[in-house]
Amino acid sequence: MREAIANKFERDNGLSFTPDQIVVSTGAKQALINVIMSLVGPGDEVVIPAPFWVSYVSQVQLAGGIPVIVKSTLEEDWKVPVERIAAAITPKTRLIMFSSPCNPSGSVLTRSEHEALAEEVAKHKDLYVIADEIYEHLAYAPARFTSFARLCPEAADLTVLVNGMSKAFSMTGWRIGFAGGSADLIGRMVRLQGHATSGPPGICQKAAVAALTGPMDSVYAMRDAFDRRRQAMVAGLKGIEGLDVPTPDGAFYALPGVGAFLGRTYEGRRLAAPAELAEALLDREKVAVVAGEPFGAPTAIRLSYACSEATIAKGIERLSRFFGALR
């Protein structure tokens, strides 16, 4: 499995890792917490650009660390400018962690944005980076995925790439994630994992080897399908007056702003926050969206287009009816 992952890093990212620089975990989620538990102690700060994947904050808190959230706006395409990240770094900062393509915003860092971040990181001693690249195969042209480690050779030893099988390969339930980094850090993660789960089941690893070493055409066919779904969802959302809809470049989420609707009433219920709006939507229209607050996007809702175009069309119809009825 580790050999197959090393070949994958070589093939897709142009990176050379030896097997002792790779760990296979029970989902990318365990790879992430392995890194955090290995690096972060009480009082250490972890810079997390927002919006972020929900588990990052909880994982840092579990390690006793302090999540330092750095905000971005919808107008910035949900990307935090590097100067704002730089301003959040203190002598206590141990780690920066982000995903690109991003869950929940779908934003994809460009090569130059990645380079600017790499330059900033290289200025600091012992500052680690988790580049969560689990959506690497789900970036839609003209956006292009770039791997962070490739761009930051000075900090290669301090960069951990986290990836896994659950997104592009649709193997979510097989629970296979992996990380590549320095042999020292990976060794610490292996020792930690050895006392937690040992490792993922062999049968799942066999399946993941088959996926990683097999032909990629089904992955690319799915990427094209997600792109069509993305376009259908974004066009539908843009047709709803009052919604603020950026176009996501990757992953399978849209993160529209609902600020214009907050404080309005729906069937006598005042909807003060996205969480209340999401609850009313589920109750009345049976549409499941996720409130933006836990992702660090307090005036947005997250929608997933990991479903058929027919379901998206039906969902958009219901969303239009719902938002049209808000007074």
Residue 74 contacts residue 60 (beta carbons within 8 Å):
no
Pick between residue 101 and residue 246 the one whose CB is nearest to ligand PLP: 101
Q: Is residue 164 at the binding interface for ligand PLP, with CB under 6 A as the rule?
A: yes
Residue 223 or 238: the one with the smaller Cβ distance to ligand PLP is 223
Phi, psi of 97 (to 5 degrees): -135, 140
Task: Kindly state the smallest distance separating residue 253's Cβ from ligand PLP, in Å.
Answer: 9
Is the Cβ–Cβ distance between 300 and 260 less than 8 Å? no
Pick out residues in 49-78 that bind ligand PLP (CB under 6 A): 53
What one-letter code names the amino acid at 320?
S
Nearer to ligand PLP, 164 or 236 (CB): 164
**94/81 Cα distance (integer angstroms):** 20
* Contact string (CB under 6 A) for ligand PLP, positions 95-114, x = contact: ----x---x-----------
Judged by CB under 6 A, the stretch of 21-29, 187-195, 221-229, 279-287 that binds ligand PLP is 21-29
Q: Which residue is nearest to ligand PLP (CB)?
A: 27
Tell me if 132 contacts ligand PLP by CB under 6 A.
Answer: yes
Instruction: Measure the N-to-C terminal CA separation of the chain; round to a whole number of Å.
Output: 56
Measured CA to CA, the distance from residue 210 to residue 237 in angstroms comes to 38
Which residues have C-beta within 8 Å of that of residue 8, sequence separation ≥ 6?
212
CA-angle at 56, arms to 224 and 193, nearest 5°:
95
* Interior angle at CA 195, CA 191 and CA 198, nearest 5: 85
User: How far apart (Å, rounded) are the C-alpha atoms in residues 250 and 306?
Assistant: 12
Single out the residue of 16, 18, 172, 311 in contact with ligand PLP (rule: CB under 6 A). Answer: 172
Of the residues 6, 23, 24, 28, which one makes contact with ligand PLP according to CB under 6 A = 28
Residue placing its CB nearer to ligand PLP in the complex, 16 or 172: 172
CB of 290 to ligand PLP, least distance (A): 11
Please report, as ranges, the residues that interact with ligand PLP according to CB under 6 A.
27-29, 53, 99, 103, 132, 134, 164, 166, 172, 177
